[in-house]
Structure 1
Amino acid sequence: MINKPQVVIGTAGHIDHGKTSIVKLLTGTNTDTLKEEKSRGMTIDIGFAYLNNEITIIDVPGHERFIRNMVAGISTINIALIIVSADDGLMPQTHEHIEILHLLNIKHAIVVITKADKVENNIIDLVENEIKGRIQNTNFYNAKILRTSAKNNVGIDLLKKEIINLSENVEKIVDRGFFYMPIDRVFSKTGFGTIATGTVLSGKLKSNSEIIILPEQNNATVRSFQTHGETTETIKAGDRAAINFSSVEQTKLKRGSVLAIKNQIAPTSKIIVNIKMIENNNWMIKDKQLVHIHIGTSQVIAKVITFGIKILPGQSANVLLDLNNDISPLCDQRFIVRSISPMETIAGGKVLDNNPKFSKKDLKKNIQKIETDNSKRFLQSINRFWKKPLSIEGWSKFFNVSKNQILKWVNRNKVLVIDSIIYSSESLNKSKKEIIKKVEEFHKNNKYKKSISKEELLISLEFDKKWLEFVTNEMKNEIVIYESGYGLKNNKIDLSEVDLLIANEIESSLIDSGFDLLSSLRVYDKNQKKALNILYLLKDSEKVVQIDSDLWMHMNNYNILKYLLGRYFTKHTKLSVPEFKKMISVTRKNAIPILEFCDKIKFTTRVDNYRVKGEKLNAELSSS
């Protein structure tokens, strides 16, 4: 079983420069496995070989026609093996492959000059200088350059030693906290069924696990694994793996599909990305231009939405990609952009948002402000979602990273965490101001009410409920928190002499009405709006009770109702509607809303067509 982290090496270079021969000398494996490849003497599809138990070599095609296979192969590598023939030097596909490696942010490389036996040393010196000049502005500018000859078996041992040494120091894949593996090959084997291969980019997976195939969203069960030709119970980030499935048809899998744990990542047809154009070409990208996107092991056509700007050679910009097919990319995943016709590599990019939630108007206004650095983008996103902050787990899924990575960003950006909810000082202050503004507006328009209901404020602000509760608890010097709502601490309700007279008249009417429920119009028919406002004021003063939307009872009668119910249930276990009507001397018109109110406040509980004693009745009676 393989325990050490594995390293994946990918070849790159022009056709016929000896990539496959070098791999065979290093590993003993001929990676040209297809009949068509052997007959043509060139690699068409991706081939695989093992240098040792920890190192896999991926051999990719050098022919321009098969560049998509090449990108699929090197999208998951740790080290590039750039092959340059001594007798040809740098050729068109060599230049393009080097550019692709740089755009995919491959940081480690070894340059192998092949066929050294065919030319004089002074010619090789020129080729080596040419190579140094070509890679000086890449991520792998300090790559070692080695001279080899497959014919004379020269330099192969030194190359093998250098590969092993570099593999010991290479940056390993950062685990995102969940299993994710792009598929680069699918085949069927007699006695086993469907098998898919790829490099595990994140997480771990055990045999017999349930996974999902994306973007198709087909469920699958893993039967067994192999890595480096050995059966294993677990595969992990960095491993080259072959996965055998239980009862999954080969047609349900393809290169470009992704294997992942459920509920971690979703298919999408739109992604926000940052694109960086290659400097030394004549290509530019215009609004709504069609391009090929090579991301992971998948290839799709995308319409580039630039919102009117042109991206010229050497320039970078944030854009929206509208894809012709769903994909399931990771945030901050690198990709390659190629033109539709003629097919040329014109740019590289990075995914900034793999599930955009912007409106078109907001996206046009803000797309260029989106940070490319993920830590800064994290802080941006916290302030963007200030009304509904996410938890540590929520942000982990949003950015497709581990919870530990989120906590590192929390510390780096000096943001705050409460009950696992992440927020910034900016989002807290903004929320406080918005609450004050809404409550002030409410008091201005409802001068007789002491508080806005929690539900109304929540809907008005469009806040997350938990966030509203937290913020208002932080505002006790400015906000009064009532049982049913919120009011400003400095808000005063001053009734005029006329209003006081109306309030007294309303109270008298409700006392006299007993259990005959009155509406605002019936208690004061001269001005229904004023009557309703004063009723709410009396409710806040606990002088009246609101039975239904506009049906009212005086507190004195409410206390009598409570007493009558308590007395009834000392002798009986259930109460019917006719018995209730008789008890409080009302018609069904009043009995039903009063009973429903009693159910609501848990004085009673409805069971079929009867009421039984509710859990709150005893507590209310004992506190009276």
Structure 2
Amino acid sequence: MKRYFTIGMAGHIDHGKTTLTKALTNVDTDRLKEEKERQISIELGFAHLYEDEDIQISVIDVPGHERFIRQMIAGVAGIDLVVLVVAADEGVMPQTREHLHILGLLGIKSGIVAVTKVDRVDEEFIDLVKDDILDELKGTVFEQSPFMLVDSLSLKGINDLKSLITTTLKAQEMRDVKGAFRLPIDQVFTIKGQGTVVRGTVYEGAIEEGQPLMIMPKGLETRARQLQVHHQPAKKAFAGQRTAVNLSGIATDEVQRGDVLVSSEHFITTRTIDVALSVIADLDYIVKQRMPIKCHIGTAEVMGRIVFFDRNEIKDDSSEILCQIRLEEEIVTKRGDRFILRRPSPIETIGGGWVIEPRGEKYRFGHQTIEELAKKKEGTPKERTMAALFEAKSLPLSELLTRTSLEQSELEHLLHEEDEFLQYKNKDYTLISLTSMIEEEMYDRMKDYHNENEMKPGLNRAELFQIMQNVYPKQLLEYVLENGIQSSTFGKRDQYVHLHDFKPQIPINWQKRTNGLLDELKNDGLQVKYLHDYFTKAGIPQPLVVEIKKFLMDEGVIVSLDEQYYWHREHFSNAVETLRNGTGADFEVGDAKALLGLSRKYMIPFLERLDMTGLTMRVENKRVWKGKKL
């Protein structure tokens, strides 16, 4: 299938990233008036670079000024290859180094070094600049990256750079398009007549026009009214594509940069993450236990605190540190997501790393906690598979392969040999422990519902699923419920589900009065009073009248003639049988009156009820028996 990639331009301010982007794409990504006046990029800029039948490539022009580092992190977090831009007349500068640190911490593995403005200097100076760059790149992800000499104004080397980008990406694996759709939002705006539009790079999965979506962590439901890729309408968008989504039913002030657009509620929202942290060398300040930090993850920027379990501070440490980040706001993340930590004041990039466990707990200080975190970090094949299923609740084999990075034969053997795993409906996999948890939760929800609604037949199946679909996929809920019905844990009645041994009943403190009401109704035979009069005489309060009346009708104890008159089921059945036995294939109103001795105020509603229940059919002035029995 066609593959989609996004590349990023990174580097120091005024080293020519935006001009290089324009030379490659013929698009000026400086769209704000302020950006043009100051000749610096403030917001992320985007352009279409290349497309053929096999591949499509987008470009993000990342702001280089230190003040706009958070936009840079938001842009870089969604890209597949970085072009590190270094001006030939200046060489490596402070923001170049900081961008290098961040790119490494974000796990960017593919890069190209573009030396720009080469027409401004002679060849000897270019050689000096290259040596300077090579020294800076030692030990970074760019150490083995190819160099390209370009000039964006004369277009020297531009075609060669474009060709190198294309060739590199054609040999690279694209992002996962089979998993659940996820798009971290980095821009929100309004288009007149269209409403709210969000934009971002699709991290994983795919999206279709009209697809139901959720904005996390807020939990807002919406729909993809329209899609655009590179300013062109699209029916679908895939992982790696820069995409704009027109959202249905969402106001612009309800969504912001840092929110995540997803196709599934199963992405984890959390405030506590266990992480593997790498700290930047030569920090200006000591990093202390529980000090305030600013965490950049995806496009979110959230304040929090760093918690160590084996130390109280860091100054210089090149090893990976297992620790925890406790955030002030919820984020959406999963195992393997990359993050950056910055000190809010004085501003400094501290380091970054990846998420080991999205739902961290409170642990004790000491080496035992570090050992446990180390086990989580490494994870046996079984632990990785269980963690993936516990997070997503249910996954097909293809998605499990992606999330666990296991060989197919190894994963299939594990899934079929270990007792913890369950394949249901001959399709997806889940954990047996999860099905037990779901069944227990269903049991508790039904029990609570029965206690509060004794007269109702049960909990509406759709309502039960709607409540629980915030955590579990619908197909898994359906499986557990059906399994529970087969094992006689649950029962069902039409669209209602209930505990197997549950039977609807009048609340115990109203049973005596209701039984008295029914006795009076039965004693009056066919010459009944208004039903409301029986309730009033029984002393049943108005709020309960509707519920008890519905219960008695649902249980078949009383039968309505119309909105005012009701008969006891026994008398109704007897009246039907008397009429059936005393008439032929059809009869008139007079025949019925002679048999039952009823006045018109009872007779007409009774006959109309027979029509409604399908026992008779009116043909002109007669009624014809249809053969149906009670």
Match of 1:137, SS state, is: coil
The Cα offsets for residues 485-531 of structure 1, whole Å up to 9 and x where unpaired, read as xxxxxxxxxxxxxxxxxxxxxxxxxxxxxxxxxxxxxxxxxxxxxxx
Whether 1:404 and 2:401 are equivalent positions in the alignment is yes
- For residues 395 and 271 of structure 1, the distance between their equivalents in structure 2, rounded to whole angstroms, comes to 14
Take 2:260 and 2:199, find their aligned partners in 1: how far apart are those partners?
Answer: 11
Corresponding residue of 2:144? 142
Percent identity for Structure 1 against Structure 2: 33
1:301 equivalent in structure 2: 303
Q: Could you tell me which of 326, 336, 354 is aligned with 2:358?
A: 354
Deviations 1:379-405 (A, max 9, x none): 4578xxxxxxx6974354599992234
Taking a change above 3 Å as real, the CA distance of residues 399 and 352 of structure 1, as seen in their structure-2 partners, is: farther
Residue identity in the other structure for 1:45: E
1:433-486 per-position Cα deviation (integer Å, ceiling 9, x unaligned): xxxxxxxxxxxxxxxxxxxxxxxxxxxxxx88969xxxxxxxxxxxxxxxxxxx
Is 1:352–1:372's contact at 8 Å kept on the other side of the alignment?
Answer: no
Pick closer, same or farther for the CA change 1:325–1:364 going to 2, 3 Å: farther
Specify which of 7, 31, 34 is matched with residue 32 of structure 2.
34
Tell me if 1:67 matches 2:69.
Answer: yes
* Greater displacement, 359-368 / 152-161: 359-368
- The alpha-carbon deviation at position 177 of structure 1 amounts to 1.6
Q: Quick one: structure 1 residues 139 and 281, their matched pair in 2 at CA, closer, same or farther if it must change by over 3 Å?
A: same
Is contact 1:100–1:336 with CA below 8 Å preserved after alignment? Answer: yes
Who is 2:20 aligned against?
A: 22
Partner of 1:482: none
Q: State the Cα deviation string for residues 166-214 of structure 1 (Å, max 9, x = none).
A: 1211232134621111011111111221111111111122211111101
TM superposition shift of 1:269:
0.9
Q: TM-score, normalised to structure 2's length?
A: 0.62
Q: Distance in 1 between matches of 2:289 and 2:395?
A: 27
The aligned amino acid for 2:31 is T
Query: For residue 182 of structure 1, what is the aligned residue in structure 2?
Result: 184
CA 381–23 in structure 1, closer or farther in 2 if over 3 Å, else same: closer
The alpha carbon displacement at 1:147 in A equals 1.2
Is the aligned partner of 1:323 residue 2:321?
A: no
Q: Which amino acid aligns with 1:72?
A: A
Shift of 1:265: 1.0
C-alpha separation in 2, matches of 1:398 and 1:271: 22
Match of 1:119 among 118, 121, 126: 121
Unaligned runs of 5+ in 1: 383-389, 424-462, 468-605, 609-624
Distance 1:103 1:255 in 2: 21
RMSD: 3.1
SS in 2 for 1:360: coil
Q: How far apart are 1:98 and its partner, in Å?
A: 1.1
Instruction: Decide whether aligned partners of structure 1 residues 395 and 297 sit closer, same or farther in structure 2, where only a CA change above 3 A counts.
Output: closer
Q: 1:407 to 1:158 in 2, by over 3 A?
A: closer
Distance in 2 of aligned mates of 1:336 and 1:229: 30
| CA deviation map 1:49-107 (0-9, x unaligned) | 11123111101111001100111111110110111111110000001111111111111
Relative to structure 1, the CA distance from residue 377 to residue 197 in structure 2 (aligned partners, 3 Å threshold; closer, same or farther) is farther
C-alpha distance 168-125 of structure 1, shift in aligned 2 (>3 A): same
Give the conservation status (yes or no) of the 8 Å contact 2:46–2:59.
Answer: yes
Deviation at 1:117, TM superposition (A): 1.5
The number of aligned residues is 423
User: 2 CA distance for matches of 1:33 and 1:342?
Assistant: 31
1:472 corresponds in structure 2 to none
The match for 2:390 is: 394
Does the CA contact (< 8 Å) of 1:13 and 1:93 recur in 2?
yes
**3-state DSSP class of the match of 1:152?**
coil
Per the alignment, residue 540 of structure 1 pairs with none
Task: Report the counterpart of residue 9 of structure 1 in structure 2.
Answer: 7
- Alpha-carbon separation, structure 1, partners of 2:367 and 2:262: 32
Flag structure 2 segments of 5+ consecutive residues without an equivalent.
422-432, 438-554, 558-630
Partners of 2:3 and 2:320 in 1: CA distance: 35
CA contact (8 A) 1:194 1:245 kept: yes
**Partners in 1 of 2:375 and 2:183 — Cα distance?**
24
1:290 match? 292
Q: How does 1:141-220 map to 2 (within 5 A)?
A: 141-175=143-177, 177-220=179-222
For 2:394 and 2:347, the matched residues in 1 are separated by 34
Name the aligned partner's letter for residue 14 of structure 2.
Answer: D
Deviation at 1:238, TM superposition (A): 1.6
Distance 1:173 1:397, change over 3 A: farther
- Residue 370 of structure 1 pairs with residue 373 of structure 2: yes
Other structure's SS at 2:224 match: strand
Q: Aligned in 2, Cα 1:308/1:216: closer, same or farther, shift over 3 Å?
A: same
Going from structure 1 to structure 2, the CA distance change for 1:397 and 1:11 (only over 3 Å counts) comes to farther
Determine the structure 2 residue equivalent to 1:52.
Answer: 50
In the alignment, which of 261, 264, 270 is matched to residue 262 of structure 1? Answer: 264
**Contact 1:287–1:307 at 8 Å: present in 2 too?**
no
Find the aligned partners of 1:62 and 1:315 in 2 and give their Cα distance: 28
Shift of 1:360: 3.1
Map of 1:102-117 to 2, 5 A cutoff?
A: 102-117=104-119
Which moves more between the two structures, 261-270 or 103-112? 261-270
Distance 2:406 2:365 in 1: 25
The one-letter code matched in structure 1 to 2:234 is T
C-alpha spacing 1:373/1:160, structure 2 compared with 1 (3 Å) = farther
Contact 1:391 1:422 in 2 (8 A): no
